[in-house]
Chains A and B, each alone.
Chain A
């Protein structure tokens, strides 16, 4: 993916968060807590578990649908970062070669099962995190985290990350364009130039940080970024967290697919 495409994808994620749907209107804290509970529930499954994880897909699907977030867009983002999960799990099939039967007559090494489990957990948690960002404004998430007790210093770091991500990316894009314009074929596109480009960007960032800090001091900054927005939890927020938490607990402690299977077999028999 080219630099400019990646940049516009990020901008799109940001713009999605300005929509106004039932999900967007929930208190940021409610969504942050639900997403955290979701991640903990998913990650807490044992390493060979796949089947019991599947019901969890209902959460991102429902959030995505109710929040009017295009599923293809989220799916492409998940695929784009999947190399991380693939690298984490790709040696499992080699090292963990015990043979397990996954269906009557089909058996594979246990490593493949744990690899698949990692990928499923990855897809679940990343899509949930992306949906959190796509349905909640980033400053909203930061306010939520602050009110959930995250130290002010971390919250201001996150706010600046968000504010200057776009500025920095645009700067990087200008430098990359300027390089492309004057490099022909392979010349000028090598690692040495790349290192210098990164160095230039770093220096510019340091200078900019100094100027921003000056502007903050000029307006009375004393260590904490003030906010005057007071969000209060409404019934809908509480219901949302309770319903999500209950659903995660059910899926975590009751093997839902197996139970459904047994029920169906029971009805048929």
Chain B
């Protein structure tokens, strides 16, 4: 199904202050793929994600989602196809109640109220947060906020789900439940994270980005077990692949 394609072709991006954050990024993600994006701090992960729904536009090169090339005028259409969950749920949840927040996207898509209600219930059930519908976001725990933030995006039924550090600062149980939520989403998904175990659990493929360019692209298990490659990128083997060294 070609409308779930995401293609970057020699994408370059320079911030107004002159920093060149992306230096020719090329990759193709096809339908149903789950792709992890890893790299050191400042390697360009966030800039890359911001291009996926047109929050930033490439200085040169092309981003294509489905058949639609990303440009000023196609951004609304691209945003319908690509749902982005930002890193800090407090930035993602801006409405007074959980229900209103999850309904925000579907209402903006112009759906009638009863369809919106259905979508909200479905999305909240999928992340196991149906009971929180009437709560204000500032009374939720960190794990609950993360789950609801994901629901706000899946309620729009995007073709591609993009996530920036979905489990940062969550306790292990909440992190585990976020991983469960991600695995229950069967469309294409793209996850940027330093949590390499999470990537290993959720993604089949992995891209390594360094200094604004892709330096490795392959099966996640292969890339995430390459200790040298990881070390070169300020990363280390996922904990599940490390033998626990004996205490001195």
Contact string, B76-90, partner A, CB cutoff 8 A, digits 1/0?
Answer: 100110011010101
* Inter-chain contact A139/B97, CB cutoff 8 Å: yes
* Inter-chain contact B103/A219, CB cutoff 8 Å: no
Contact string, B86-115, partner A, CB cutoff 8 A, digits 1/0?
Answer: 101011101111001001110111000100
* Inter-chain contact B107/A218, CB cutoff 8 Å: no
* Inter-chain contact A160/B94, CB cutoff 8 Å: yes
* Inter-chain contact B88/A220, CB cutoff 8 Å: no
* Inter-chain contact A163/B96, CB cutoff 8 Å: yes
* Inter-chain contact A218/B84, CB cutoff 8 Å: yes
* Inter-chain contact B91/A212, CB cutoff 8 Å: yes
Q: Is the CB of B176 closer than 8 A to any CB of chain A?
A: no
* Inter-chain contact B86/A215, CB cutoff 8 Å: yes
* Inter-chain contact A217/B55, CB cutoff 8 Å: yes
B88 contact set on A, CB distance < 8 A: 211
Q: For the complex, what is the distance from the CA of A219 to the CA of B156, rounded to whole Å?
A: 8
Q: Contacts A226-B103, A226-B107: A218 and B53 contacting too (C-beta < 8 A)?
A: yes
* Inter-chain contact B105/A163, CB cutoff 8 Å: no
Q: Contacts A211-B86, A211-B91: A219 and B96 contacting too (C-beta < 8 A)?
A: no
Contact string, A99-143, partner B, CB cutoff 8 A, digits 1/0?
Answer: 000000000000000000000000000000000000001110010
A217 to chain B, nearest CB (A): 7
Q: Is the CB of A222 closer than 8 A to any CB of chain B?
A: yes
* Inter-chain contact B53/A163, CB cutoff 8 Å: no
A219 contact set on B, CB distance < 8 A: 79, 104-105, 108, 152-153, 156
A210 to chain B, nearest CB (A): 9
* Inter-chain contact A220/B109, CB cutoff 8 Å: yes
B107 contact set on A, CB distance < 8 A: 226, 228
A218 contact set on B, CB distance < 8 A: 53, 55, 79, 83-84, 86, 153
Q: For the complex, what is the distance from the CA of A220 to the CA of B104, rounded to whole Å?
A: 8
* Inter-chain contact B95/A159, CB cutoff 8 Å: yes
B84 contact set on A, CB distance < 8 A: 215, 218
- Residue from B90, B92, B94 having most chain A Cβ neighbours under 10 A: B94
Q: Is the CB of A73 closer than 8 A to any CB of chain B?
A: no
Which secondary structure characterizes the binding site on chain B? helix
B3 to chain A, nearest CB (A): 18
* Inter-chain contact B86/A163, CB cutoff 8 Å: no
Number of interface residues of A (CB under 8 A): 28
Number of interface residues of B (CB under 8 A): 33
Closest residue of chain A to B116 (Cβ to Cβ) is: A228
Q: Is the CB of A22 closer than 8 A to any CB of chain B?
A: no
A245 to chain B, nearest CB (A): 29
Q: Is the CB of B36 closer than 8 A to any CB of chain A?
A: no
Q: For the complex, what is the distance from the CA of A146 to the CA of B25, rounded to whole Å?
A: 47
Q: Contacts A159-B95, A217-B79: A167 and B108 contacting too (C-beta < 8 A)?
A: no
Q: Is the CB of B138 closer than 8 A to any CB of chain A?
A: yes
Q: For the complex, what is the distance from the CA of A228 to the CA of B94, rounded to whole Å?
A: 16
Q: For the complex, what is the distance from the CA of A220 to the CA of B90, rounded to whole Å?
A: 18
Q: Is the CB of A166 closer than 8 A to any CB of chain B?
A: yes
* Inter-chain contact B94/A215, CB cutoff 8 Å: yes
The A-contacting residues of B in range 144-160, CB under 8 angstroms, are 152-153, 156
Q: Is the CB of A83 closer than 8 A to any CB of chain B?
A: no
B50 to chain A, nearest CB (A): 8
Contact string, B188-216, partner A, CB cutoff 8 A, digits 1/0?
Answer: 00000000000000000000000000000
Q: For the complex, what is the distance from the CA of A222 to the CA of B109, rounded to whole Å?
A: 10
26 contacts between A and B (CB under 8 A): A142-B96, A163-B94, A163-B136, A166-B138, A167-B138, A208-B90, A208-B91, A211-B86, A214-B50, A214-B55, A214-B86, A215-B91, A215-B92, A217-B55, A218-B79, A219-B104, A219-B152, A219-B156, A220-B80, A220-B105, A220-B108, A222-B108, A225-B104, A226-B107, A227-B100, A228-B117
* Ranked 10 nearest A-B pairs via Cβ: A220-B108, A139-B96, A226-B107, A219-B105, A211-B91, A166-B138, A228-B113, A218-B84, A215-B92, A212-B91
A-B contacts besides A139-B96, A214-B55, 4 pairs, CB < 8 Å: A219-B152, A221-B108, A226-B103, A227-B100
List residues of chain B with CB under 8 Å of any chain A CB: 50, 53, 55, 76, 79-80, 83-84, 86, 88, 90-92, 94-97, 100, 103-105, 107-109, 113, 116-117, 136-138, 152-153, 156
List residues of chain A with CB under 8 Å of any chain B CB: 14, 137-139, 142, 159-160, 162-164, 166-167, 208, 211-212, 214-222, 225-228
